[in-house]
Amino acid sequence: MRTPLGYARRVRHAVSALRLWTPRRFGFALVVAALAAVVTGVPTDLINTPLIGRPVPIAIWSYPLWIVTSLLIGFLVAASVARDVSSKPLAGGGLLAIFAMGCPVCNKPIVLLLGASGALEIWAPVQPVIGAIAVILLSTALIVRLRGEVYCPADAHPTPSVTPA
């Protein structure tokens, strides 16, 4: 069974991995985070564009969720660049964040499943929980990947060079 002390140790290892990052890698993470903010902000209408209209006002908690998930996505991509790792947690967390921040009535799968009134009465109250799950999923994936940099650095196992005979 995992204890809170075990989680604290994992977070400490992840933070120590961040201390090893170069400014260039941090810059890359911030560029990817900005890109993620645009990719998630436009379809959810958090970035106001003439492309998309939103009949339901934006919930106040959507903006912090948008910023946090964008940053987590940026750091998760930067942590994955030097490693051959799966992007499933990234895709799952990003998709959950879009569902959480999106307009409940504009979400076609939810409206088909629950109807327009169900989307407002059932889905809208659940959206903050979906957003929290997205943050937990993305931050857990980031901690695991950063811990991997401390325990198993990418350059620790160089590929053997082939010399002609």
Q: Is 84 left (phi over 0), alpha (psi -120 to 50) or beta?
A: beta
Place of tokens 């961040």: 18
pLDDT computed for residue 92 by the predictor: 67
Closest CA to 40 of 93, 109, 111: 93
pLDDT computed for residue 30 by the predictor: 95
Model pLDDT for residues 80-130, shown as the tens digit of each residue: 876 555 555 556 677 778 777 777 767 677 777 788 787 788 888 888 898
Query: Can you list the alpha helix ranges (DSSP code H) found in 20-157?
Result: 23-41, 62-80, 88-101, 108-118, 124-151
How large a percentage of the chain has pLDDT more than 70? 77
Listing DSSP states for 71-99 in one string gives: HHHHHHHHHHTTS----HHHHHHHHHHHH
pLDDT computed for residue 82 by the predictor: 61
pTM of the entire predicted model = 0.76
pLDDT computed for residue 157 by the predictor: 45
Closest CA to 69 of 44, 42, 39, 36: 36
pLDDT computed for residue 10 by the predictor: 79
pLDDT computed for residue 156 by the predictor: 47
Stretch 134-150: mean pLDDT: 85
* Residue 120 burial (C-beta neighbours within 10 Å; 0-12, 13-18, 19+): middle
pLDDT computed for residue 31 by the predictor: 95
